[in-house]
Structure 1
Amino acid sequence: MSPHDGTDPERRAAAHGPVMRALMLAAALLCLALGIVGIFVPGLPTTVFILMAAWCASRGSPRLSAWLERHRLFGPMIRDWRTHRAVSRRVKWRASAVMALCAAVLFVAVRDWRIAGLGTAAMAAVAVWLWLRPEPA
């Protein structure tokens, strides 16, 4: 049960028609795949894609939603977000370090400093938003 919408995943999924459930399941699987790839590819976020996968799965597949919440790596992150809208300090530090590394690579690899600056500004905005999120107890 999610404290933010008052319904469990099965009821949320049932509220959508079969086409919407299929689209949500497809989106959940795509986000999950991108999140897993993000574990290994610097610059590709993991947390955001896993949270998006959980949101889509809760509307498209109660079984996938339950699996994600029970997962040893993804489960705590999803539960912290659903319960408290919180992100752990460890995740914040890792995300910030990867964004800083990517910003440095941008300035080295991209010839136009304005493009590198724009990408870095976007990452800085995400980092500020991330650090303003509460941390789980």
Structure 2
Amino acid sequence: MGVGLLGVVLPGLPTVVFLLMAAWCAGKGWPALEDWLLNHPHWGLSIRNWRVYGAVPRKAKVLASIMMSMSLILLWLSAIHLYWQFALTLVLASVLLWLWLRPELSQEN
């Protein structure tokens, strides 16, 4: 978790990947935390929908799309080699396609 938090302020160090790994490990090693997250009034339904159906809420899809688009704009404005600009654009486009193909469930499920 500490490495993930460092990623918030250090460029180039991923944040989300380390926080997801920390959450997964904590859920496996700390059943009370997993129960708390699954029954949480705000996050519980989204976590259960992801586990059972692989569903992602539309709001999360839109927010991810906006953030990836902003990242691509900054990438193409940077001085990074053209090869990396195309490669990273392809990777992000693939992730967006995968994300938008995930099912959406209503918040009442």
TM over 0.5: yes
* Structure 1 position 67, deviation (Å): 2.4
Residue matched to 2:101: 132
Q: Tell me, in whole angstroms, the C-alpha distance in 1 between the residues paired with 2:55 and 2:20.
A: 12
* Structure 1 position 116, deviation (Å): 1.5
Amino acid at match of 2:59: R
Q: Tell me, in whole angstroms, the C-alpha distance in 2 between the residues paired with 1:56 and 1:89.
A: 27
Q: Tell me, in whole angstroms, the C-alpha distance in 1 between the residues paired with 2:81 and 2:4.
A: 28
Q: Tell me, in whole angstroms, the C-alpha distance in 1 between the residues paired with 2:22 and 2:34.
A: 8
Q: Residues 58 and 65 of structure 1 are in contact (CA less than 8 Å); yes or no, is this contact kept in structure 2?
A: yes
**Cα pair distance change 1:108/1:125, threshold 3 Å:** same
- TM (norm. structure 2) is 0.71
**Cα pair distance change 1:45/1:84, threshold 3 Å:** farther
Aligned sequence identity (%):
38
Equivalent residue pairs, number: 100
Structure 1: unaligned runs, 5 residues or longer: 1-29, 39-43
**Cα pair distance change 1:77/1:135, threshold 3 Å:** same
Structure 2: unaligned runs, 5 residues or longer: 9-13
